[in-house]
Chains A and B, each alone.
Chain A
Amino acid sequence: MKIFILAHTHSDKDLCAKLSNQISADGAIWIGEKCDFDFFGVEDLIHVDSNNSIKSGRRLSDHFDEQVVIVGLDDGFTGEILASFSVSAYEPVVWGCHGFDYCKDDSDIVLQKYGFGGKVLYTSKISSGCVQFNSKAIDSSAREAKNPSVVSLDGQDSVSFEILESVESSDENKDVTSADVVVSGGRGIQGPEGFESLKKLAGKLDAAVGASRAVVDMGWIDYSHQIGQTGKSVSPKLYVAFGISGAVQHRAGIQNSSVIVAINTDRNAPIFDICDYGIVADWKEVLEKWVSV
């Protein structure tokens, strides 16, 4: 069994270099336009010049006639490629993994991942298949660069949909799932303009901006910011909740945060039951002081 790291045109090359080291990749797969491939630090590389995730996954399935484990980062395009490979090759996909190791007894890979908002830790074994690795769990140094020999698969697969334009988001769209710090707002910040204030602190802390379901439902901020059972699950080093009561659905999405901070005027708000640090005070006063220190 061989281990391949999979990346594409929009993948973070630094992260790829580190992940390649962490999983001791035997080879790499690159989907998209050709570039310098030495950052993977592997000897063999498979190149598919395509912008179609579904067809790329199927091409990879046709290519491999040996058992492989393909490991990619946790972005959407990588997920699409792995899903397509998985069903084409009848192989499993394990997503959100933070642990990746060889089994001592056999040649299987042992994977660890959290489920249900961090309430459960799964340990599983696969002998082949796909792994989507939690980019926040990459803690290895970058692999030494190496110029690989490249095998190009027939590609140039176009997509059937007609792309009209790239839509720029109206706000700073740092992804809540990959940020080290997340500053979130709930009903307590009193209106959509509250998020403009939160962005000041987010800028200071290099943080992404999150939100509770209630305020997303009220249209205060885009759905992509929603954290919780019906939104995204986050695992930052620091999670700051301004004016969020801490409904169980929201708590499900933040339980993997290393440190949780709560700011709320209601001392009985459930968010205080699960926080590391909290302050019972007006959110705006806390925010202003925090921005100014």
Chain B
Amino acid sequence: MKILVLAKQVPATTDLTFGKNGIVNRESVPKTVNPDDESAVELAIQIAESVSGEVVLATMGPESASEMLSELGAMGCASCCHIFDDSLNGADLVATANVFAALAKKVNAGMVICGASAADGKGGLLPSAIASLLGWDCLNQVSSVEDFSSEPIVVFNYQGKKTKAKVKNPSVLSVYKTVAEPRIPDVMAVLSAPQPEKLAISDLDINQKALEFDQRCEVVNVENVKKERKNKIWEGIESFSDFHAELKKEGF
């Protein structure tokens, strides 16, 4: 079984600037791997090891994302795909999901695993969107895995309740970082890590309509928000009554 794992490079700072349509300027800021994604890679590798499968690691993003693929790929991935196409800058949910669903079909994946949320965006909708396009089910917010087999037993969020279930593939899983502790690759693993293969939109079978994201939603204004705080500080436990009185005035 081939397992497609998705990873994302996110800004390692909250000191961000924004360009056209509110798109964050990613080029000039330090970057890191989205924390949930490292555990997603580890989980995929453990499942692949138990079923003699292989892990295909993929990302979509700027040139610098290749470095992330090389680092994560050294954990034990069979191959790495870097979807790198200027026309995807600012891609929305529909476009991004179509890219990854097309990639899942291209590599003949039987399972897709990704982080439950991205540190630079809290939507968490991408896994369900990919599952819908593939016609698969999606188990979201997986917090633990009991059985690293082709049909793992997972605890996930189903209709607002923590639920234990046996996964039937093909499926999409979105996972928290608690599912597995990412391994640290040794020198040999780093030296033999797969080189990222660059793919463009033209390499994937995607409906053109999916890529027309500029026409779906128009961002008409982006405003920086600076909230003024009262910043009233007391020193020592003996000031508690003054502190508490102020909170009471606020209605708490």
Contact = CB atoms under 8 A, between A and B. Distances in A.
Interface of chain A, main secondary structure: mixed
Contacts of B218: 124-126
Interface residues of B, number: 85
A37 interface: no
Interface residues of A, number: 90
Interface in B160-193: 160-168, 171, 176-178
Given A76-B124, A76-B157, A76-B160, A58 B132 contact: yes
A53 interface: yes
Interface stretch (B50-58, B80-88, B103-111, B242-250): B242-250
A142 interface: no
A52 B93 contact: no
Given A92-B94, A124-B218, A279-B240, A77 B160 contact: yes
A222 B155 CA distance: 13
Contact of B232 (A248, A267, A274, A277): A277
A123 B166 contact: no
A91 B171 contact: no
A280 B235 contact: yes
B149 to A, nearest CB: 13
A167 B164 contact: yes
A92 B214 CA distance: 10
Given A77-B159, A93-B93, A94-B217, A267 B224 contact: no
B137 interface: yes
A119 B229 CA distance: 14
Contacts of A255: 227
Interface stretch (A13-21, A143-151, A185-193, A281-289): A281-289
B237 A167 contact: no
Contact of A279 (B137, B164, B178, B239): B239
Interface in A246-288: 248-249, 251-252, 255, 259-261, 267, 272-282, 285-286
B128 A276 contact: no
B42 to A, nearest CB: 15
Contacts of B165: 161-164
A161 B167 contact: yes
A95 B167 CA distance: 28
Interface in B99-119: 119
Contact of B93 (A58, A92, A161): A92
A78 B37 CA distance: 23
Given A161-B168, A181-B252, A252-B14, A54 B163 contact: no
A84 to B, nearest CB: 4
A267 B97 CA distance: 47
Interface string A78-112: 01101110111011111110000000000000100
Contacts of B202: none
A161 B143 contact: no
Given A54-B136, A79-B123, 4 more contacts: A8-B159, A115-B121, A120-B224, A238-B252
Interface of B: 13-16, 18, 22, 24, 34-36, 92-94, 97-98, 119-126, 128-129, 131-133, 136-141, 143, 153, 155, 157-168, 171, 176-178, 209-210, 212-213, 216-225, 227, 229-237, 239-240, 243-244, 246-247, 250, 252
Q: Which 3 A-B pairs have the closest CB atoms?
A: A84-B132, A83-B125, A83-B128
